[in-house]
Amino acid sequence: MIAETAKQFVSPGFIETPLTEKGLENEKFAEAIRRNTALRRVGKTEEIANVIAFVASPEASYMTGSDILAAGGWLIM
C-alpha cells in the first residue's frame, strides 16, 4: 500500500535550546561542538523550524520518506 501523505523526518544537529543551555556554558564543551561542526557554530531553533516549514510545504510535494539532516555539517567533519 502506498502512503497517501508524505512522511518526512528532520534530524537536527546540536541546537541551542533551554535543554542545551547548561552544556553550552561549559566553554570546552561549546568549543568541541564548534570544532566538530563544519559551520563552526551551534544551530538555532529557527533554522530547524525553517527546514520543517519547507518539508511541510507544497514545494516539497514530491518528497516522501526523507530524513533531512540539518546538522551544520557535523557528519562531514
Instruction: List, for residues 25-65, the tens digit of each pLDDT value.
Output: 999 999 999 999 999 999 999 999 999 999 999 999 999 99
In a domain, 22, yes or no: yes
pLDDT given at position 4? 65
In this predicted structure, the answer to whether residue 3 has a pLDDT above a threshold of 80 is: no
In a domain, 72, yes or no: no
Total number of domains constituting the chain: 1
On the 0-12 / 13-18 / 19+ scale of CB atoms within 10 A, 33 is buried
- Determine contact, residues 33/39, Cβ cutoff 8 Å: no
Residues 4-32 have a mean pLDDT of 93
In a domain, 71, yes or no: no
**Which has more confidence, 76 or 3?**
76
Domain that holds residue 55: 8-66
Q: Give the angle subtended at the CA of 13 by the CAs of 12 and 14, to the nearest 5°.
A: 125
Residues 11-31 have a mean pLDDT of 96
In a domain, 18, yes or no: yes
In a domain, 2, yes or no: no
